[in-house]
Amino acid sequence: MTMPTRSFRAAKCLLHVLALMSALWLPFLANSEEIKLRVGVISGLTGAAAQWCAFQNKGMILAQEELKSEGISMELVFEDSQTSGPKAITAYNKLIQLDKVDAVIADDFGLVIAPLLPLVERRTLPLVATSLPQQRYWDVAPKQFFSVSSQIAYSRTAYDRFFELHPDIKRISVVAFDDPEWGNAYLAIWRDIASQRGNTYRDWE
Protein backbone atom coordinates (compact mmCIF):
# COMPACT_ATOMS: atom_id res chain seq x y z
CA MET A 1 0.00 0.00 0.00
CA THR A 2 1.48 3.37 -0.99
CA MET A 3 1.81 6.36 1.34
CA PRO A 4 -0.97 8.34 -0.46
CA THR A 5 -3.32 5.35 -0.19
CA ARG A 6 -2.60 4.93 3.53
CA SER A 7 -3.16 8.66 4.10
CA PHE A 8 -6.43 8.55 2.14
CA ARG A 9 -7.82 5.60 4.10
CA ALA A 10 -6.60 6.94 7.44
CA ALA A 11 -8.42 10.22 6.82
CA LYS A 12 -11.66 8.38 6.01
CA CYS A 13 -11.40 6.35 9.20
CA LEU A 14 -10.58 9.48 11.16
CA LEU A 15 -13.82 11.20 10.22
CA HIS A 16 -15.88 8.12 11.04
CA VAL A 17 -14.21 7.86 14.46
CA LEU A 18 -14.83 11.55 15.06
CA ALA A 19 -18.50 11.08 14.31
CA LEU A 20 -18.78 8.14 16.71
CA MET A 21 -17.08 10.10 19.48
CA SER A 22 -19.26 13.15 18.98
CA ALA A 23 -21.82 11.89 21.47
CA LEU A 24 -19.13 12.03 24.15
CA TRP A 25 -18.02 15.55 23.25
CA LEU A 26 -21.50 16.91 22.54
CA PRO A 27 -23.96 15.17 24.87
CA PHE A 28 -26.86 17.36 23.81
CA LEU A 29 -26.76 15.71 20.37
CA ALA A 30 -27.75 12.35 21.78
CA ASN A 31 -31.49 13.09 21.50
CA SER A 32 -31.25 14.79 18.12
CA GLU A 33 -32.68 13.04 15.05
CA GLU A 34 -29.74 14.25 12.99
CA ILE A 35 -26.20 14.75 14.30
CA LYS A 36 -24.69 17.99 13.07
CA LEU A 37 -21.01 18.73 13.55
CA ARG A 38 -18.72 21.50 12.41
CA VAL A 39 -15.13 20.27 12.24
CA GLY A 40 -12.11 22.47 11.59
CA VAL A 41 -9.28 21.02 9.53
CA ILE A 42 -5.80 22.52 9.81
CA SER A 43 -4.06 21.31 6.68
CA GLY A 44 -1.03 22.12 4.57
CA LEU A 45 -3.12 23.21 1.58
CA THR A 46 0.02 24.93 0.34
CA GLY A 47 3.64 24.49 1.35
CA ALA A 48 5.93 21.52 1.86
CA ALA A 49 3.23 19.01 2.85
CA ALA A 50 0.63 20.05 0.25
CA GLN A 51 0.66 16.81 -1.74
CA TRP A 52 0.54 14.60 1.35
CA CYS A 53 -2.27 16.64 2.92
CA ALA A 54 -4.25 16.64 -0.33
CA PHE A 55 -4.74 12.87 -0.18
CA GLN A 56 -5.91 13.03 3.42
CA ASN A 57 -8.33 15.84 2.62
CA LYS A 58 -9.84 13.80 -0.22
CA GLY A 59 -10.37 10.95 2.21
CA MET A 60 -12.15 13.24 4.66
CA ILE A 61 -14.43 14.65 1.98
CA LEU A 62 -15.38 11.13 0.87
CA ALA A 63 -16.07 10.12 4.48
CA GLN A 64 -18.15 13.29 4.89
CA GLU A 65 -20.39 12.13 2.03
CA GLU A 66 -20.71 8.63 3.50
CA LEU A 67 -21.63 9.98 6.92
CA LYS A 68 -24.27 12.24 5.42
CA SER A 69 -26.04 9.18 4.00
CA GLU A 70 -26.13 7.82 7.57
CA GLY A 71 -27.80 10.94 8.97
CA ILE A 72 -24.63 12.58 10.25
CA SER A 73 -24.10 16.06 8.88
CA MET A 74 -20.49 17.12 9.21
CA GLU A 75 -19.30 20.45 7.87
CA LEU A 76 -15.56 20.65 7.22
CA VAL A 77 -13.93 24.05 7.57
CA PHE A 78 -10.44 24.02 6.04
CA GLU A 79 -7.65 26.40 7.08
CA ASP A 80 -4.21 26.48 5.46
CA SER A 81 -1.25 26.02 7.81
CA GLN A 82 1.25 26.26 4.95
CA THR A 83 3.18 23.65 7.00
CA SER A 84 4.21 26.42 9.38
CA GLY A 85 3.83 26.38 13.16
CA PRO A 86 2.86 30.07 13.50
CA LYS A 87 0.40 29.79 10.59
CA ALA A 88 -1.14 26.73 12.22
CA ILE A 89 -1.66 28.62 15.49
CA THR A 90 -3.38 31.44 13.60
CA ALA A 91 -5.57 28.90 11.79
CA TYR A 92 -6.45 27.18 15.07
CA ASN A 93 -7.49 30.42 16.77
CA LYS A 94 -9.66 31.37 13.79
CA LEU A 95 -11.41 28.00 13.77
CA ILE A 96 -12.14 28.25 17.50
CA GLN A 97 -13.01 31.93 17.86
CA LEU A 98 -14.66 32.79 14.53
CA ASP A 99 -15.83 29.53 12.98
CA LYS A 100 -16.95 28.04 16.32
CA VAL A 101 -16.02 24.47 15.40
CA ASP A 102 -16.85 21.48 17.61
CA ALA A 103 -13.51 19.75 17.10
CA VAL A 104 -10.28 20.19 15.12
CA ILE A 105 -8.37 17.80 12.87
CA ALA A 106 -4.71 18.56 12.15
CA ASP A 107 -3.43 16.60 9.17
CA ASP A 108 -0.12 18.39 8.63
CA PHE A 109 3.39 17.32 9.66
CA GLY A 110 4.12 16.85 13.36
CA LEU A 111 6.28 19.98 13.58
CA VAL A 112 3.15 22.01 12.80
CA ILE A 113 0.85 20.20 15.21
CA ALA A 114 3.06 20.12 18.32
CA PRO A 115 2.85 23.90 19.04
CA LEU A 116 -0.96 23.64 19.10
CA LEU A 117 -1.17 21.25 22.03
CA PRO A 118 -0.84 23.77 24.90
CA LEU A 119 -3.64 25.79 23.28
CA VAL A 120 -5.76 22.69 22.83
CA GLU A 121 -5.64 21.76 26.51
CA ARG A 122 -6.61 25.30 27.58
CA ARG A 123 -9.52 25.43 25.13
CA THR A 124 -10.85 22.03 26.22
CA LEU A 125 -11.74 21.23 22.63
CA PRO A 126 -10.66 17.93 21.02
CA LEU A 127 -7.84 17.92 18.48
CA VAL A 128 -7.21 14.78 16.43
CA ALA A 129 -3.86 14.51 14.64
CA THR A 130 -2.82 12.27 11.78
CA SER A 131 0.96 12.31 12.21
CA LEU A 132 2.03 13.30 15.72
CA PRO A 133 2.98 10.30 17.91
CA GLN A 134 0.59 10.36 20.85
CA GLN A 135 2.86 8.61 23.32
CA ARG A 136 5.41 11.45 23.06
CA TYR A 137 2.87 14.20 23.79
CA TRP A 138 0.37 12.59 26.11
CA ASP A 139 1.37 14.80 29.03
CA VAL A 140 0.99 18.05 27.07
CA ALA A 141 -2.72 17.68 26.39
CA PRO A 142 -3.88 14.46 28.08
CA LYS A 143 -7.60 15.21 27.91
CA GLN A 144 -7.99 16.74 24.46
CA PHE A 145 -5.25 15.39 22.16
CA PHE A 146 -5.81 12.22 20.16
CA SER A 147 -3.74 10.74 17.33
CA VAL A 148 -4.51 8.16 14.67
CA SER A 149 -0.90 7.94 13.51
CA SER A 150 1.05 4.73 13.82
CA GLN A 151 2.80 4.59 17.18
CA ILE A 152 6.38 4.67 15.97
CA ALA A 153 8.02 3.04 18.97
CA TYR A 154 6.09 -0.16 18.27
CA SER A 155 7.68 -0.40 14.82
CA ARG A 156 11.00 -1.41 16.31
CA THR A 157 9.91 -5.03 16.82
CA ALA A 158 9.28 -5.38 13.09
CA TYR A 159 12.59 -3.74 12.18
CA ASP A 160 14.53 -5.98 14.56
CA ARG A 161 12.80 -9.03 13.13
CA PHE A 162 13.80 -7.97 9.61
CA PHE A 163 17.48 -7.92 10.52
CA GLU A 164 17.20 -11.23 12.32
CA LEU A 165 15.91 -12.73 9.08
CA HIS A 166 18.52 -10.92 6.94
CA PRO A 167 21.80 -10.81 8.93
CA ASP A 168 23.71 -10.33 5.66
CA ILE A 169 22.43 -6.74 5.32
CA LYS A 170 25.10 -4.40 6.67
CA ARG A 171 24.37 -1.08 4.94
CA ILE A 172 21.15 0.87 5.54
CA SER A 173 19.68 3.93 3.81
CA VAL A 174 16.46 5.38 5.19
CA VAL A 175 14.06 7.74 3.41
CA ALA A 176 11.77 9.71 5.75
CA PHE A 177 9.89 12.97 5.92
CA ASP A 178 12.07 15.95 6.91
CA ASP A 179 9.91 16.41 9.99
CA PRO A 180 11.40 17.04 13.46
CA GLU A 181 8.57 15.05 15.00
CA TRP A 182 7.35 12.17 12.85
CA GLY A 183 10.26 11.71 10.44
CA ASN A 184 12.96 12.10 13.05
CA ALA A 185 11.23 9.64 15.36
CA TYR A 186 11.56 6.95 12.68
CA LEU A 187 15.14 7.91 11.97
CA ALA A 188 16.03 7.68 15.67
CA ILE A 189 14.85 4.05 15.79
CA TRP A 190 16.87 3.12 12.70
CA ARG A 191 19.99 4.86 14.05
CA ASP A 192 19.70 2.97 17.32
CA ILE A 193 19.24 -0.38 15.57
CA ALA A 194 22.20 0.32 13.30
CA SER A 195 24.47 1.25 16.21
CA GLN A 196 23.55 -1.88 18.16
CA ARG A 197 24.04 -4.19 15.19
CA GLY A 198 27.13 -2.52 13.75
CA ASN A 199 25.39 -1.58 10.50
CA THR A 200 26.57 1.23 8.24
CA TYR A 201 23.81 3.85 8.34
CA ARG A 202 22.83 6.82 6.19
CA ASP A 203 19.78 9.10 6.43
CA TRP A 204 17.87 10.19 3.36
CA GLU A 205 15.30 12.80 4.33
Per-residue pLDDT reduced to its tens digit, 81-96: 999 999 999 999 999 9
Collapsed DSSP state (helix, strand, coil) of residue 203: strand
pLDDT reported for residue 25:
44
pLDDT level of residue 5 (50, 70, 90 thresholds): very low
pLDDT level of residue 37 (50, 70, 90 thresholds): confident
Query: ∠ at Cα 132 (130, 133), nearest 5°?
Result: 115
pLDDT tens digits along 136-191? 777 888 888 887 766 666 677 888 888 888 888 877 777 776 666 667 777 878 88
Query: ∠ at Cα 125 (15, 85), nearest 5°?
Result: 85
Quote the CA–CA distance of 137 and 23 in Å, as a whole number. 25
pLDDT reported for residue 14:
56
pLDDT level of residue 23 (50, 70, 90 thresholds): very low
List Cα–Cα distances, 29 to 39, 54, 62, 73, in angstroms. Answer: 15, 31, 23, 12
H-helix segments, the chain: 3-25, 50-69, 85-97, 110-113, 117-123, 134-137, 156-165, 182-197
Q: Does residue 101 contact residue 39 with C-beta atoms inside 8 Å?
A: yes
Per-residue pLDDT for 203 more than 60? no
For all residues of the chain together, what is the average pLDDT? 76
Per-residue pLDDT for 26 more than 60? no
Q: Does residue 147 contact residue 130 with C-beta atoms inside 8 Å?
A: yes
Q: For the whole model, what pTM was predicted?
A: 0.69
Quote the CA–CA distance of 116 and 37 in Å, as a whole number. 21
